[in-house]
């Protein structure tokens, strides 16, 4: 199964081969405000390889945080332009042999949402629903990333068609609770703690957390085992080795 994400480089999901065909990466829609200005495969906003833009966070690449949030209230044209950009972008990715698209935004902090649920439902949800529907009409799986404590949005996300949620960070949302409440409707992708277990734990603690997550969140299916975010340089090499070895052992790849 081929699945491409909206971050700047492909991520490999267990059982999913995620890599665009060499030399066949779609470019930004011609004439778009976000059209490439830094050479092939780069966007004016970020200089990153061209992938579906973040619906809420794209203005953050051009403005500071407070101005970004005000822009969503004041600039109707900006919201609609970003929506059109995303839909044009998605059409280009749907020409490739992928079976899923994974979008990325950040709506939360460690303690809650960056804005009220009412504001999210007014300004972001209707446009996100159009994007999800556009993907599902083409028969592809819809995934979404958001950092932070965003559980309040899960019922809405499920309602508009979300199928896979990432990263399920244990420091802000208890994985077992999320599985119990939403596991029959959402597949969770993440859960192996990059804040405590991976950087500070022992190799055996890393292995144990992997086994625990697989047994709890993975019961009945609906779990893609992965770190809860990017592993940074503070993760000891022996813990990375333990992570890879344990996953391979559980998958019968040894």
Q: What is the DSSP letter of 129?
A: H
Mean pLDDT within 200-219: 97
Distance CA 166, CA 197 (A): 18
Over residues 205-223, the mean pLDDT reads 96
pLDDT, tens digit (0-9, with 9 covering 90-100), for 22-63: 334 344 444 444 343 333 333 232 223 334 445 554 444 444
**Is the pLDDT reported for residue 73 higher than 80?**
no
224-252 pLDDT, tens digit per residue, is: 999 999 999 999 999 999 999 999 999 99
Q: Give this prediction's pTM.
A: 0.76
Mean pLDDT of 188-192: 96
Q: For residues 43 and 33, give the distance between their C-alpha atoms in angstroms, rounded to a whole number.
A: 10
Burial (CB < 10 A; 0-12, 13-18, 19+), residue 232, is exposed
């Amino acid at each position: 199964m081929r699945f491409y994400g909206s971050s700047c480089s492909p991520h490999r999901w267990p059982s999913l081969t995620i890599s665009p065909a060499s030399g066949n990466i779609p470019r930004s829609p011609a004439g778009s405000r976000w059209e490439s200005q830094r050479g092939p495969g780069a966007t004016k906003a970020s200089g990153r390889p061209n992938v579906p833009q973040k619906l809420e966070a794209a203005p953050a690449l051009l403005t500071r945080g407070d101005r970004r949030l005000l822009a969503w209230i004041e600039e109707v044209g900006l919201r609609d332009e970003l929506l059109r950009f995303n839909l044009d972008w998605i059409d280009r990715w749907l020409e490739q042999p992928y079976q899923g698209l994974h979008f990325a935004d950040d709506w939360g902090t460690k303690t809650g949402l960056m804005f009220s649920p009412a504001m999210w439902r007014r300004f972001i949800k209707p446009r996100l629903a159009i994007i999800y529907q556009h993907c599902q009409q083409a028969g592809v799986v819809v995934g979404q990333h958001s950092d932070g404590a965003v559980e309040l949005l899960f019922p809405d996300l499920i309602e508009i068609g979300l199928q896979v949620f990432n990263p399920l960070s244990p420091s802000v949302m208890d994985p077992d609770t999320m599985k119990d409440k939403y596991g029959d409707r959402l597949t969770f992708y993440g859960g192996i703690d990059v804040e405590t277990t991976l950087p500070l734990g022992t190799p055996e603690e890393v292995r144990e957390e992997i086994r625990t997550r697989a047994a709890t969140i993975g019961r009945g299916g609906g779990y893609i085992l992965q770190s809860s975010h990017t592993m940074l340089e503070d993760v000891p090499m022996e813990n990375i080795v333990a992570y890879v070895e344990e996953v391979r052992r559980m998958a019968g790849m040894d």
